Amino acid sequence: MTAEVSQSAEIRSALVRLRRTTGLPVAFGGLVESRLRQMRISELNGTATPALSALAVTSGNGLGGRAVALGRPCAVTDYSCSRQISHEYDTAVAAEGLRSVLAVPVVVRRRVRGVLYGALRDARPLGDRMLGAAVDAARDVEQALVVADEARDLVIAARAGPGRAAGQDSARDSAAWEQVREAHAALRALAPRIADPALRTELLDACGLLTAGTGPAAGTGPAEAAGPAPREVDVLACVAAGATNAVAAERLGVTAETVKGYLRSAMRKLGARTRGEAVVAARRAGWLP
């Protein structure tokens, strides 16, 4: 699954939530094509016609373009008569029968990445509750895109890490190898938060790249007797990075008691008596880089 498809899926889910929480009959949106400085409407929810589909909205033009240019929410009570916006897209808006419209930008690292719209077919003010719900939906998309961006950066770092370290035993104690270990811990913590199954699988595959070749030969070590559960590796990765049980629980979205349970299970499989011994044994077994 490409990054654009994944981002479009986030927009699509946000539109469903927006309509559900506000009762707005129509919601639509799309991603900003940064090179062209325009936003293309790709996702429609509740529309009666295809008039808005694939419409390219230039930054500064119309309501959505204004939201892109300003980087903040915008709304009009009667689209076709509003003096706050330009009217390049009146034909498409009128074909869909829309009057009151709001547009909220999705902003990630100070860059507008998309726009969510909500609309009524009659001309009446869109209250603070509707605007607040639209802003909340946009924030959800922003958080999802931040996590996806971080995940992809870590995947790149993970794929580069083993290549730098391969064949260099001393590198395991170097700052470079510590960065690889930190990337592994971050990947394991991020993976459960990724809604996109393809991206989540890619993250876990990258974790496998980091641990490839670090364990014992086949038939040796505790890993052969009892392999780790994924969550046990997640907890060990956090512990190896110096996290307490409380911090590990926060990163993984579980309780501290759950972390303790996974850690005890991992320690038992590894034959370790302390957290430190468990980390060392997990590295020897190839569970961790």
Decide if 171 contacts 164 (C-beta within 8 A).
Answer: yes
Q: Encode pLDDT of 2-17 as tens digits.
A: 556 668 888 998 999 9
Q: What was the pLDDT predicted at 166? A: 43
Residues 248-270 have a mean pLDDT of 90
- Tell me the C-alpha distance between 19 and 47, whole Å: 12
Residues 222-228 have a mean pLDDT of 59
pLDDT at 171 over 70: no
Lowest-confidence region among 27-41, 118-132, 219-233, 255-269? 219-233
Do 13 and 134 sit in the same domain of this protein? yes
153 within a domain of the structure (yes/no): no
Residues 110-122 have a mean pLDDT of 95
Both tokens assigned to 110? 């100070």
- Tell me the C-alpha distance between 53 and 44, whole Å: 7
HSE (side-chain half, CA atoms, 13 Å) at 169: 1
What's this model's pTM, rounded to 2 decimal places?
0.64
Do 275 and 197 sit in the same domain of this protein? yes
Do 23 and 121 sit in the same domain of this protein? yes
Amino acid (1-letter code) at residue 23: G
Q: Encode pLDDT of 172-198 as tens digits.
A: 456 666 767 777 777 777 777 776 677
Higher pLDDT, 288 or 171: 288
155 within a domain of the structure (yes/no): no
Lowest-confidence region among 135-144, 156-165, 246-255? 156-165
Do 132 and 214 sit in the same domain of this protein? no
Of 138, 153, 185, which marks where a domain is finished? 138
Domain that holds residue 256: 166-285
Of 122, 138, 154, which marks where a domain is finished? 138
Task: Report the chain's mean pLDDT, rounded to a whole number.
Answer: 83
Percentage with pLDDT > 70 across the chain = 81
Do 107 and 185 sit in the same domain of this protein? no
Lowest-confidence region among 211-215, 217-221, 244-248? 217-221
- Tell me the C-alpha distance between 44 and 52, whole Å: 8
Of 119, 138, 157, which marks where a domain is finished? 138
Sign of CA dihedral 142, 143, 144, 146: positive
148 within a domain of the structure (yes/no): no
Number of structural domains, the chain? 2
Q: Which CATH number do you get for residue 125? A: 3.30.450.40
Do 210 and 278 sit in the same domain of this protein? yes
Do 127 and 83 sit in the same domain of this protein? yes
Do 9 and 128 sit in the same domain of this protein? yes
280 within a domain of the structure (yes/no): yes
Do 171 and 134 sit in the same domain of this protein? no
